Chains A and B, each alone.
Chain A
Amino acid sequence: MTTFSIPRTRPRRTRGSVDSIRVKPSFVSTGILLIGAIYCLFPVFWVVMAASKNSSELFSTFTLMPSTHLWDNIVELTQYRGGLYWRWVLNTALYAGIGALASTWISAISGYVLAKFEFPGKKAVFSVLLMGVLVPGVILAIPQYFLFASVGMTNTFWSVLLPQIISPYGIYLARIYAAASVPTDVIEAARTEGAGELRIFNRIALPMMAPGLVTIFLFQFVAVWNNFMLPYIMLGNDALYPVTVGLSGLLNQGATAPAMYTLVITGALLSIIPLVILFLVLQRYWKVDLAAGAVK
């Protein structure tokens, strides 16, 4: 249990498909899983249907009946306050994209150093790191706000981006991955050839760690994309909002103006499409053995 599974170039399908020919299918276990699948897909199905209705139909027709107003709703959402919604989508993409890229690089280099170098205080750094894994980011959001407020940096792009770059869990995974995938001989060979340490990391170690880094990137990307509390407290200017904070604000207005509901529903649908696609495409990278490091 010292490594976490990495995507295999050849998926281990053989076990299921070869054997399954002679094993009798079980309706009970297939059925239970399908019920679970329906439960998980149902709200998504509902939002697709609901997004196709105009606001009077939303309250008057059976909710699972599709209508024809999806395009009108998208146009209306696009026109809402001069395209503010798309601004939110762009902001989310920037926060999550830049944040996750930076976080992955920092995690990779820190994990690599912790795995491959001996230096005084290494043990202390590692214990602090483990403590960091146990203190979740959301609990830090309010302290981070206080600190940013004291230097007058709240309500800026940076106030949401910077705090989410450091990820103890990412460093932790990167350390495991560097230990498993970068041979020490290779590093030493490069050193004797006179390569600088940073160059060795960027040119040699980083590519070797790449498959594991995709997982770290995805983790961090989803974490930033999902994060609600940090932007919610840091930002006052709605042009800087990510889509989660923006839609939550729209829902708030919907309490007094139900016509807003159509915008909220359409916005919710559009906002999950990119992430769902990202998920389906990169599904094989979601194989993380959380227990991998629990022992060490």
Chain B
Amino acid sequence: MLAPGIVLFLAFMAAPIVYTLFLSLQKKQVKGLGLGSGGRTTAFAGLENYIGSLTNADFGASVGRVLLYGLVLIPLMLGLALLFALLLDSRRTRAAGFSRTAIFLPFAVPAVISSLLWGFLYLPAVSPFYWVFDRLGWDVAGVLDSSTVLFAIANIALWGGVGFNMIVMYTSLKAVPTDIYEAAKLDGCTEVQVAWRIKIPIIAPSIVMTALFSMVATLQVFAEPTTLRPLTNSLSTSWSPLMLVYRDAFTRDDIYSAAATSIIIAVVTFAFSFLFLRVVQKRAFGQED
């Protein structure tokens, strides 16, 4: 009964990885003049492609950009999600149902579509923001200029992701028995103290998981910058690591280095999430073991 799952796993997860590993160890070799069908063959390349990828300045730059992007996006997104979740959980909040639905709604919008929407909102000719700036006589530079494009993309991801993370945290807040809060109230805790000292520590495992999923998502950002490219000149074809892999595989027709780069990204992502889980697991889940 496990067979369908195993077959699909082997065919669509394990086999592609193994095949990509195999490709990453090869290179093109031109025999003679490289003419005719037998003129081009492949040869074993060892770690050549990996060394090539790791020393490639474009790759280094794209990794740097994505790290900065994650540093901007993740704390902001999770901080806001936590704030919203705590406020939703507060009894003194009104219209909580409306706000919850509204903030969660962008999760229903695919990244490509949200990039389209925000892309237009960033475009001075059609943006209501620029209309307001104009009336006020402010001269605001384009958000999609090279100095701010990273923040423009982070904003799109924030818009799409804050609601989902809020719901995850809110769900675990709801699972906490209310007597705990009652007891704290009787002891004279303010609502802010209850949030800091009780609610946040209790939902720490959820926060850890949202952080993990956000990190993994950040390392593989692709749809947003790819969609925005027609609207700006400041996004290169190697803006993010996955865009670089795409460029190597499809525009440069160099599938061997693309294979090596995608293996590096997969390994780094995996190591990242694994280490992160290891480090925080003790602290976040220690009480439960």
Contact = CB atoms under 8 A, between A and B. Distances in A.
Interface in B110-144: 110-114, 116-121, 125-128, 131
Interface of A: 1, 5, 12, 15-16, 19-20, 23-26, 29-30, 32-34, 36-41, 43-44, 46-47, 50, 58-59, 62-64, 106-107, 109-110, 112-114, 117, 125, 128, 131-132, 134-136, 138-140, 142-147, 150, 162-163, 165-166, 168, 171, 197-198, 201, 222, 225-226, 228-229, 232-233, 244-245, 247-248, 251-252, 254-255, 261, 264-265, 268, 271-272, 275-276, 278-280, 283, 286-291, 294-295
B17 interface: yes
Contacts of B249: 142, 145, 233
Contact of A276 (B105, B163, B266): B105
A20 B194 CA distance: 18
Interface of B: 1-2, 4-6, 8-9, 11-13, 15-17, 19-20, 23, 80, 83-84, 87-88, 90-96, 98-99, 101-114, 116-121, 125-128, 131, 159, 162-163, 167-168, 171-172, 174-175, 178, 203, 205-206, 208-210, 213, 216-217, 220, 222-223, 226-227, 230-231, 242, 245-246, 249-250, 255, 258-259, 262, 265-266, 269-270, 273-274, 277, 281, 284-285, 288-289
Contacts of A19: 91
Contacts of B178: 15
A280 B131 contact: no
Contact of B262 (A59, A142, A168): A142
Contacts of A34: 95, 99
Among B98, B120, B213, B259, max chain A CB count under 10 A is at B120
A125 to B, nearest CB: 7
Contacts of A63: 126-128, 131
Given A146-B20, A295-B205, 8 more contacts: A25-B92, A43-B118, A134-B270, A136-B269, A138-B220, A228-B222, A229-B242, A295-B285
A147 B116 CA distance: 31
B116 A251 contact: yes
B105 A162 contact: no
A201 B208 CA distance: 34
Which secondary structure characterizes the binding site on chain B? Answer: helix
A228 B109 CA distance: 12
17 contacts: A29-B87, A29-B92, A30-B95, A39-B159, A62-B128, A63-B128, A106-B5, A128-B9, A138-B222, A139-B266, A147-B16, A229-B246, A244-B111, A245-B112, A247-B112, A272-B113, A294-B285
Contacts of A229: 222-223, 242, 246
Contacts of B23: 146
Contact of A40 (B105, B222, B269): B105
A38 B178 CA distance: 30
B226 A232 contact: yes
B19 to A, nearest CB: 5
B79 to A, nearest CB: 12
Contact of A268 (B117, B171, B274): B117
A131 B277 CA distance: 12
A109 to B, nearest CB: 6
A134 B13 CA distance: 12
Contacts of B105: 40-41, 44, 276, 279
A20 B171 contact: no
A275 B101 contact: no
B262 A143 contact: yes
B183 to A, nearest CB: 16
Contacts of B1: 109, 112-113, 117, 197-198, 201
A56 to B, nearest CB: 12
A136 B242 CA distance: 13
Given A113-B2, A143-B17, A290 B209 contact: yes
Contacts of B12: 140, 144, 162-163, 165-166
B126 A33 contact: no
A139 B265 contact: yes
A242 B33 CA distance: 42
* The 5 residue pairs across chains A and B that have the minimum distance between CB atoms: A291-B205, A143-B16, A37-B102, A110-B5, A26-B92
